[in-house]
């Protein structure tokens, strides 16, 4: 090939001798995969001296310069003057005063260099993202076949003319599209040094998954003092990974956190989290310290087992409610006082199901130690059958069954059962269904047999067995629905349908003559004698656009009430106390039985979403016996634009304190922006208690995002009892495609 190239050059010299000095582009054929373009070219043996708009191409690499000396034999090349080095795959785009490069070994050195190395956008719900590449500026850059070594260089992904942040280090190694490692780096914000990093490694992949230390968490807190934390991500293998975190609270102590995830098989997965604090204690006014440390653990896993079985485990542990309230970062978690662990195996076949489970349910009554109610089922075995048709015809007959056997226990400060108390429950039912002149009628007949290994006698638990046999008859009646179609307003749809659906149900239960003797474990134990009738009326509005055929429900209003033909419910009511019974819990989540009564409150539920931007939900209970609304919950949300949203809600409980603690709270959320939006983003969330006349929870967040980083500030107030009563200021600095620093964690932001 070399002789062919020499022959070609000789022919050109004979035919046009002026071509060697004229300003004409020369395009020799490729040599060893290298193409050369230049205005002027002189040859000295294997060395070609190229001058004027020189371009050298080898593979995906293109180098342009004012002048280039190139050796055909060795592949050595030296480019000078306005050197531009780029990768056609889009990974590197560098400018330099001089470049020494070997096209065969792909080794080279760049002098006085600046340019970009592309990094895939790694944004998500917790990482600020940008499409900007990483910009580098250095006096010397060494290139190997796979990576670049930047000497005494500066790196940023901001606008290089006015960078918000820079990272400068004596040595930076960059593997385009894979990773960048910075050693002894100094991070500067607007030129001011902020912190020093001995080693910092950042993945440049689109979906990175490499072991290494994560972005450190540094900041201050009015509750914990100076906060300094570091995490290590361990990519164990393609199916497992773990994150280990240590955090120092200078005012409180040391916290450890561990999270592990795995997918052992194609049809199984699990994740587990541990959090613990070794607390020196909260400093009190008298100089003493109140220790509030503890531990929490959660694990969830799902697996498809042999034989068509499916296994699920959802395990939670909390050492104390005081620990949760002292170290939680969210209001929702601080007020949640139930910890439930359950593991079960289930299989469905035909209309039957088999379930086996282990359950532990702990309810914290207060922040005091051991003030809990613990319920256990170790184990629970169930065999159930949904409606299984026995007879056909105009009045078909269906059979269904609920049955269970448990070893249960309940412990609380007032009393405690045995460690294992036998309980068996067998509840077969026969159901039919038929239509009569548009009326749909569903009668059900059932008998329930339950046995207990212990029972209550007053406030004592005795070892005497208890057997209960109850019969139940119910009839559901659905009269014909009334409906009418109207021409709708354009903002709703072309057509609007109004539907009225009345419904009635009668239920009679007898045989529960020992209600107070049953130890309460779950809703199976709340069965009571009753003779009751339900009435409900539901109105719905549907809209339809004839052009698209789209139909949706825009509003529904349901009103229902229950009448008790036996106001004593077979003697199950204890006057002056809070009574929780089956005749109330399947009607409303609020207790209302503190005396005998002939009727329940009148319940109403309104849901409307006239447009996709606005929605309203209102749930209220009006008690005619007390002549007032006893419970009310209303929430309204409005999405003004894709960036502006607002919501307001009000919750009130005005029942007697023997039934429920009084409450009167209003909540509000206003937000402008989103996590990745450039510019200002603001959100405000409040929960105000009218009775206490305080904000029991308030959080205000404001952030500003540039094209490469973001700044966030939050003020948060808690006023939840004596454990969590503090004001907090938290800040964060987010670096696009890298991570965030500070005490305001990304998952706690409103946007």
| Confidence band of 10 (pLDDT split at 50, 70, 90) | very low
- Dihedral over Cα of 143, 144, 148, 149: its sign: negative
Mean pLDDT of 542-564: 92
What is the rounded distance in angstroms from the CA atom of residue 690 to the CA atom of residue 541? 35
Q: How many CA atoms lie within 13 A of 54 on its CB side?
A: 25
| Contact assessment for residue 329 and residue 748, using Cβ atoms and an 8 Å cutoff | yes
Share of the chain above pLDDT 70, in %: 93
Q: Taking 80 as the threshold, does the pLDDT of residue 61 lie above it?
A: yes
| Confidence band of 264 (pLDDT split at 50, 70, 90) | very high
* pLDDT for res 372: 92
Coil, helix or strand for 249? Answer: strand
Residue length, the chain? 751
28-37, 178-187, 676-685 — which one is most confidently predicted on average?
Answer: 676-685
348 strand-pairing partners: 353
What is the rounded distance in angstroms from the CA atom of residue 183 to the CA atom of residue 116? 19
pLDDT tens digits along 371-416? 899 999 999 999 999 998 998 888 899 999 999 999 999 999 888 9
pLDDT tens digits along 307-320? 889 999 999 999 99
* pLDDT for res 206: 64
Mean pLDDT of 478-492: 89
What is the rounded distance in angstroms from the CA atom of residue 634 to the CA atom of residue 297? 34
Q: Taking 50 as the threshold, does the pLDDT of residue 7 lie above it?
A: no
What is the rounded distance in angstroms from the CA atom of residue 143 to the CA atom of residue 512? 85
For the ranges 84-93, 590-599, 664-673, which has the lowest average pLDDT? Answer: 84-93
Mean pLDDT of 169-185: 86
Residue identified by tokens 């850059």 is 141
What is the rounded distance in angstroms from the CA atom of residue 273 to the CA atom of residue 314? 12
Distance between start and end Cα atoms, the chain: 63
| Contact assessment for residue 367 and residue 359, using Cβ atoms and an 8 Å cutoff | no
Residue 143: count other Cβ atoms within 10 Å of its Cβ. Answer: 22
| Confidence band of 670 (pLDDT split at 50, 70, 90) | very high
DSSP character at residue 330: -
Q: Taking 60 as the threshold, does the pLDDT of residue 13 lie above it?
A: no
Tell the burial category of 673 from Cβ atoms under 10 Å away from its Cβ (0-12, 13-18, 19+): buried
What is the rounded distance in angstroms from the CA atom of residue 636 to the CA atom of residue 646? 8
Q: Where are the beta strands (DSSP E) in 20-91?
A: 34-37, 40-44, 47-58, 61-71, 76-87
What is the rounded distance in angstroms from the CA atom of residue 433 to the CA atom of residue 177? 66
Instruction: Of 327, 222, 329, give the one whose Cα is nearest residue 276.
Output: 327
Residue identified by tokens 């050595």 is 76
| Confidence band of 119 (pLDDT split at 50, 70, 90) | low
Mean pLDDT of 103-107: 86
Mean per-residue pLDDT over the chain, rounded: 87
Share of the chain above pLDDT 90, in %: 54
| Confidence band of 16 (pLDDT split at 50, 70, 90) | very low
* pLDDT for res 208: 64
Q: Taking 70 as the threshold, does the pLDDT of residue 120 lie above it?
A: no
| Contact assessment for residue 407 and residue 377, using Cβ atoms and an 8 Å cutoff | yes
Mean pLDDT of 700-707: 92
What are phi and psi for residue 336, nearest 5 degrees? -90, 120
What are phi and psi for residue 242, nearest 5 degrees? -145, 150
Coil, helix or strand for 13? Answer: helix
Q: What is the CA radius of gyration of the chain?
A: 37
Residue identified by tokens 């009646």 is 477
Mean pLDDT of 554-571: 95
Contacts of 710 (CB under 8 A, 6+ apart): 128, 703, 704, 732, 733, 734, 736
| Confidence band of 29 (pLDDT split at 50, 70, 90) | very low
pLDDT tens digits along 32-60? 468 888 888 888 888 989 999 999 998 88
* pLDDT for res 5: 39
Residue identified by tokens 């956008």 is 121
What are phi and psi for residue 571, nearest 5 degrees? 85, 10
Domains recognised in the chain with CATH numbers:
2-203 (2.60.450.10), 211-370 (no CATH)
95 strand-pairing partners: 84, 114
Instruction: Of 218, 174, 211, give the one whose Cα is nearest residue 196.
Output: 218
pLDDT tens digits along 65-74? 999 999 988 9
Contacts of 657 (CB under 8 A, 6+ apart): none
pLDDT tens digits along 605-660? 999 998 889 999 999 999 999 999 999 999 999 999 889 999 999 999 999 988 98
Contacts of 483 (CB under 8 A, 6+ apart): 497, 498, 499, 500
* pLDDT for res 380: 94
| Confidence band of 144 (pLDDT split at 50, 70, 90) | confident
Q: Measure the CA angle with vertex 433, ends 427 and 437; round to 5°.
A: 155
pLDDT tens digits along 233-254? 898 988 999 999 999 999 899 9
Coil, helix or strand for 139? Answer: strand
């Amino acid at each position: 090939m070399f002789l062919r190239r020499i022959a070609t050059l000789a022919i050109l010299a004979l035919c046009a001798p002026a071509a060697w000095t004229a300003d004409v582009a020369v395009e020799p054929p490729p040599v060893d995969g290298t193409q050369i373009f230049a205005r002027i070219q002189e040859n000295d043996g294997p060395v070609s001296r190229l001058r004027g708009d020189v371009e050298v191409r080898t593979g995906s690499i293109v180098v342009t310069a004012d002048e280039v000396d190139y050796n055909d034999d060795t592949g050595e090349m030296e480019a000078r003057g306005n050197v531009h080095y780029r990768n056609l795959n889009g990974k590197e785009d560098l400018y330099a005063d001089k470049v020494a490069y070997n096209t065969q070994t792909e080794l080279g050195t760049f002098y006085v260099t600046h340019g970009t190395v592309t990094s895939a956008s790694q944004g998500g719900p917790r990482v600020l993202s940008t499409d900007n590449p990483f910009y580098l500026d250095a006096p010397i850059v060494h290139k190997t076949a796979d990576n670049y070594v930047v000497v005494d260089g500066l790196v940023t992904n901001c606008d290089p003319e006015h960078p918000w942040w820079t990272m400068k280090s004596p040595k930076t190694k960059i593997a385009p599209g894979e990773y960048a490692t910075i050693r002894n780096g100094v991070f500067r914000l607007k030129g001011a040094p902020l912190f020093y990093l001995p080693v910092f490694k950042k993945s440049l992949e689109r979906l990175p998954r490499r072991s290494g230390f994560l972005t450190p968490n540094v900041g201050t807190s009015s509750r914990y003092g100076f906060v300094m934390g570091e995490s290590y991500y361990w990519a164990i293998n393609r199916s497992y990974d773990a994150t280990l975190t240590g955090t120092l609270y200078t005012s409180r102590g040391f916290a450890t956190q561990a999270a592990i995830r795995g997918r052992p098989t194609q049809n199984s997965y699990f994740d587990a989290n541990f959090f613990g604090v070794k607390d020196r204690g909260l400093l009190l006014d008298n100089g003493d310290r109140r220790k509030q440390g503890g531990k929490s653990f959660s694990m969830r896993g799902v697996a498809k087992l042999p034989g068509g079985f499916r296994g699920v485990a959802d395990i939670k542990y909390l050492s104390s409610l005081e620990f949760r309230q002292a170290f939680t970062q969210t209001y929702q978690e601080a007020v949640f006082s139930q910890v439930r662990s359950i593991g079960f195996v289930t299989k469905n076949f035909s209309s039957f199901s088999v379930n086996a489970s282990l359950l532990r349910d702990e309810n914290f009554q207060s922040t005091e130690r051991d003030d809990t109610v613990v319920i256990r089922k170790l184990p629970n075995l169930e065999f159930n059958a949904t409606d299984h048709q026995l007879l056909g015809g105009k009045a078909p007959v269906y059979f269904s069954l609920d049955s269970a056997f448990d070893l249960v226990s309940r412990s609380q400060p007032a009393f405690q059962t045995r460690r294992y108390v036998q309980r068996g429950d067998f509840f077969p039912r026969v159901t039919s269904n038929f239509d009569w002149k548009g009326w749909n009628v569903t009668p059900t007949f059932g008998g329930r047999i339950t046995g207990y290994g212990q029972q209550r006698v007053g406030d004592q638990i005795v070892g005497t067995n208890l057997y209960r046999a109850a019969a139940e008859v119910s009839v559901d009646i659905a009269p014909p629905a009334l409906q009418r179609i109207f021409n709708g307003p354009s903002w709703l749809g072309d057509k609007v349908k109004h539907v009225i659906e009345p419904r009635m149900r009668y239920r009679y239960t007898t045989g529960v003559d020992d209600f107070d003797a049953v130890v309460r474990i779950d809703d199976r134990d709340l069965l009571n004698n009753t003779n009751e009738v339900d009435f409900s009326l539901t109105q719905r509005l549907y809209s339809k656009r004839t052009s698209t055929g789209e139909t949706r429900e825009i509003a529904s209003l349901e009103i229902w009430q229950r009448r008790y033909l036996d106001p004593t419910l077979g003697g199950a009511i204890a006057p002056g106390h809070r009574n929780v019974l089956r005749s109330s819990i399947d009607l409303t989540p609020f207790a209302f039985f503190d005396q005998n009564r002939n009727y329940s409150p009148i319940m109403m539920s309104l849901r409307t979403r006239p447009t996709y931007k606005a929605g309203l939900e209102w749930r209220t209970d009006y008690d005619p016996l007390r002549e007032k609304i006893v419970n009310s919950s209303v929430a309204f949300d409005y999405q003004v634009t894709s960036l502006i949203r607002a919501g307001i809600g009000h919750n009130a409980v005005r029942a007697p304190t023997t039934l429920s603690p009084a409450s009167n709270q209003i909540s509000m959320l206003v937000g402008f922006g989103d996590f990745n939006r450039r510019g200002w983003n603001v959100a405000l969330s409040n929960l105000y208690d009218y009775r206490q006349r305080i904000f029991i929870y308030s959080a205000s967040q404001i952030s500003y995002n540039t094209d490469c980083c973001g700044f966030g500030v939050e003020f948060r107030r808690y006023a939840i009892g004596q454990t969590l009563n503090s004001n907090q200021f938290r800040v964060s600095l987010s670096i696009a495609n890298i991570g965030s620093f500070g005490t305001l964690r990304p998952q706690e932001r409103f946007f």
